[in-house]
A and B are shown apart, each in its own frame.
Chain A
Amino acid sequence: MKADLLIEKNEKSLKELLFNSSDFKFSDFEIGNRSYRLFYLETMIESIKVQEHIIRPLLTNVNGTIREAVSILDYCETDQLSDATKALVEGKTVVQINGEAKFYLLGTELVKERSINIPMNERVLRGSHEALNENINTNLNMMRKLIETPDLVIKFYQVGRRSNTKVAILYLNSLVNEVVLAEFERRVANIDIDYIEAPNFLQELIEKKHFTLFPKILVTERPDRINSYLMDGKIAILTDGSPDCLILPVSFWAFFQSPDDYQIGWLIGSAIRFLRILAFILAFSLPGIYVALVTFDPRILPFEIALTLQSSMQYIALPPVLEAIAMLVILEILREATVRLPSPIAQTIGVVGGIVIGTVVVQANLISNMMVIVVALTGIASFNIPSYEMSSAARLLTYPFILMASMFGLIGLEISFLLLLTHLSRLDTMGIPYFYSWYSGETIKDTLFRFPIRSLKKRPFESMAKESTRIKTPRG
Chain B
Amino acid sequence: MIHLKKISLNQLICLVILTQVGVSVLEIPYAESRHAGYDSWMSILIGGLLAQIVIFIIYQLSKRYPDQSLQQYIFSILGKPLGWLVNLLFALYCAESSLMVVISYADVLNRWVLFQTPFFVILGITLVVATYIASSTLRSISTITQSILNMFLICFVIIFISGMGKGDWRHFLPIGTHGIGAIIKDSLPAFWAYAGYELLLYVFPFVKCKKKKHIFIAMSIANGFTTLFYLLITIIVTYNFSESQLNTITEPMVYILRKFRWPVVQSLDILFMTIWLSVTTVTVFVYMFLSARYLAFVGKKEIRNHPLLVWIIGILCFSVGIWFSDRQSIFKFSEYHNKATMIMIALVPTIILLISYVREKVARE
Contact = CB atoms under 8 A, between A and B. Distances in A.
Interface of A: 177, 179-180, 183, 297, 299-303, 408-415, 417-419, 421-422, 425-426, 430-433, 435-437, 439-441, 464
B1 interface: yes
22 contacts: A177-B2, A179-B2, A183-B2, A297-B113, A297-B270, A300-B270, A300-B271, A302-B263, A410-B113, A411-B109, A411-B125, A418-B129, A418-B144, A422-B133, A425-B147, A430-B2, A432-B2, A433-B4, A433-B140, A435-B143, A440-B8, A440-B146
Interface string B267-301: 10011001101100100000000000000000000
A425 B271 contact: no
Given A299-B270, A422-B140, A422-B144, A431 B277 contact: no
B305 interface: no
Nearest to B261: A302
Contacts, number: 105
A301 B140 CA distance: 35
B147 A410 contact: no
Interface in B33-79: none
Contacts of B144: 418, 421-422, 425
A415 B132 CA distance: 11
B130 to A, nearest CB: 9
A417 B271 CA distance: 15
B238 interface: no
Contacts of A303: 266
**A contact face: mostly helix, strand, loop, or mixed:** helix
B98 to A, nearest CB: 15
B117 interface: yes
Interface in B121-155: 122, 125-126, 129, 132-133, 136-137, 139-141, 143-144, 146-150
A440 B139 CA distance: 13
Given A431-B2, A464-B2, A425 B274 contact: no
Closest 5 pairs (CB-CB, A-B): A437-B146, A431-B2, A431-B1, A425-B143, A425-B140
Given A422-B140, A440-B146, A441-B8, A302 B264 contact: yes
B265 interface: yes
Nearest to A428: B3
Nearest to A448: B150
A301 B8 CA distance: 40
Given A297-B270, A411-B274, A437-B146, A426 B136 contact: yes
A411 B133 contact: no
A299 B10 contact: no
Contacts of A436: 143, 146
B202 to A, nearest CB: 19
A61 B278 CA distance: 83
A431 B281 CA distance: 27
A437 B149 CA distance: 10
B355 to A, nearest CB: 38
